[in-house]
Amino acid sequence: MSTTLDRPRASADGTAAPARARRARGPTWRRAIRRDWQLYSLAVVPLLFFVVFRYVPMLGNVIAFRRFRPGGSIFGEYWVGLRYVKMFLADPTFWHVFTNTLVIGTLTLVFTFPLPIALALLLNEVRTRAVKRFVQSVSYLPHFLSIVIVAAMVMQLLSVDGSVNQLVRAAGGEAIPFLQRPEWFRSIYVSSEVWQTVGWGTILYLAALTTIDENLYEAARIDGANRWRQTWHVTLPGIRPTMVTLLILNIGTFMTVGFEKILLLYNPLTYPTADVISTYLFRMGFESSSFSYAAAIGLFEALIGVTLILTANAISRRTVGTSLW
């Protein structure tokens, strides 16, 4: 016959407490899924998208090391090792488009990363709500335009008979074939990127600005800080985590500069400054049917992107204490 004396007791040092704490702890992940399955079901479609269109295609990278022939096996006919890697490393054309990619990627990052921050800070200082909403709407609108529409607008504006050349003629100059001059392409591309993306990029920064404690501004004003000092010592440190996160993500996509826009805007005359890795891959893969060669270059580009984002994340974690992981 059992008595209460036979039941396990908690020792004086509380050794039985962890077991009771585990039982009393909140529901496990299975219970959480069972309870909130409607919310978790919303993630099914995005997960399927990434699995089908991001992770499954990674299997195709094997043709970078195998001889692929159209109509044959999707994983290549036979193993060739690093043959295609050696081919593009010894190809002067590849290094030319690699240099173009670095230049255009650097220019895009230099102009499109800080400008949304500046625009968000300026909008944050606007006190008239109607003016603020108008500027936001006008700056956001280009983001919702299709790349094809943006490219068509650029071509219409910069054509020989376009609006820009009409102004040039009105000022007494001669029409400039902007889209046929290699020296103009990078300026055109970066300008169109700034126009299309800067307004949309301010959304996250404006959201981050709302999380800054107003008491910090009050304390800064009591200490005699003007608006510039408040921005430098309160606002910028307050949005620094958002800035660092977006910078790391931008660095991760550094090598994949706008393929669609460049493909629509460039032509053989502007190849010297406009041809980048993504457009070179398109020509090698679909126009020349050199799929294995293109896969090897694409894998090299992906490795550079992974290296850049890992390096940027590590540097950010060590220097400013903010990182993606």
CATH code of the domain containing 112:
1.10.3720.10
- The DSSP 8-state label assigned to residue 36 in this structure reads S
Q: What is the pLDDT of residues 29-50, one digit of tens each?
A: 788 888 888 888 988 999 999 9
Return d(Cα 65, Cα 76) in angstroms, integer.
Answer: 9
In a domain, 325, yes or no: no
Mean pLDDT (whole number) for 57-67: 89
- Residue 207 belongs to some domain of the structure: yes
Write out pLDDT tens, residues 113-165.
Answer: 999 999 999 998 888 889 988 998 899 899 999 999 999 999 999 999 989 99
Give the Å distances, CA to CA, from 157 to 140, 166, 265, 266: 21, 9, 12, 15
Is residue 115 a contact partner of residue 108, using CB atoms and an 8 Å limit? Answer: no
Q: Name the domain count of the chain.
A: 1
241 to 132, 205, 237: CA distances (angstroms): 25, 10, 8
Is residue 28 included in any domain, yes or no?
no
| Mean pLDDT of the residues in the chain | 86
Q: Is residue 121, in this structure, part of any structural domain at all?
A: yes
With respect to residue 39, please indicate whether it lies within any of the assigned structural domains. no
Residue 2 lies in a domain: no
Rounded distance between C-alpha atoms, residue 193 and residue 201, angstroms: 11
* Burial class, 163, CB count within 10 angstroms (exposed 0-12 / middle 13-18 / buried 19+): exposed
> Among 162, 159, 151, which residue's Cα sits nearest to residue 196?
151
**Domain assignment present for 60:** no
Give pLDDT tens digits for 237-295.
999 888 988 888 888 888 888 788 999 999 999 999 999 999 998 988 888 888 899 99
Helix boundaries (H) for 37-91: 37-41, 44-50, 83-89
Task: Give the Cβ contact number of residue 209 at 10 Å.
Answer: 17
Residue 209, domain member (yes or no): yes
Integer Cα distance of 265 and 304 in angstroms: 26
For 306, residues 6+ apart whose C-beta sits below 8 A from its C-beta are 252
For residue 55, what is the DSSP state?
Answer: I
CA distance 211 to 204: 11
Q: Is the pLDDT of residue 79 over 80?
A: yes
Range of the domain at 124: 87-319
